Amino acid sequence: MLKTNRLESKASTINPKRVLLLMRHAKTESPYSLKRDFDRSLTTQGEQDARQMGAWLKAQSLSIDAVLSSTAKRTRQTTERIAEQLGLNPSAINYLDDLYHAQTDVFFKTICTVPDEIQTLMIVSHNDGITHFANMLTDARIDYMQPGSVFVAKSDCETWESFKESEREFVLYKQPGK
């Protein structure tokens, strides 16, 4: 498991123009309940973890310009708890059906549509797709993005449309309680 607790890496070769945060939804009800997967809620621990991660992001003085989130109940709840902690305007959040169990190609297609005035973007989604996507972005490898964890990468690309082809650098991986 790869971890660091700072947003700036010492050996940075990139002067970031774009920062991408990937967040896996926080801890949820069992997938073996009678609820549809899409309707599963955060547990009490998941609620606490999402708030903790939002407070941690705020303490990093990171200004998130926009959030894209899956429309599933657990990702919406995670996004709402993060937004509360950061004081994000609800207009900065977009819920997208395509991010429900999205795969790598969907993440890249979605990022290409982000307006270029957005410098720092957060995406809240699901495993296994979000772990696979994080692992494609940089040389860093995460075995399994824990519920509520955040992976941060930066790029010097001029536009989000060019993000896929740009040089990207790992910044950090943070999980609740660590």
The C-alpha atoms of residue 123 and residue 108 are separated, in whole angstroms, by: 11
Question: Once rounded to an integer, what is the mean pLDDT over residues 18-37?
Answer: 90
Q: Cβ distance 127 to 103 under 8 Å?
A: no
Mean pLDDT for the stretch of residues 53-66: 93
**Nearest Cα to 61, choosing from 11, 12, 3, 19?**
19
- Quote the pLDDT of residue 10: 41
Please tell me the CATH code under which domain 18-28+38-174 is placed: 3.40.50.1240
Q: Is 41 helix (H, G, I), strand (E, B) or coil?
A: coil
Mean pLDDT, all residues of the chain: 91
Give pLDDT tens digits for 126-177: 999 999 999 999 999 999 999 999 999 999 999 999 999 999 999 999 999 8
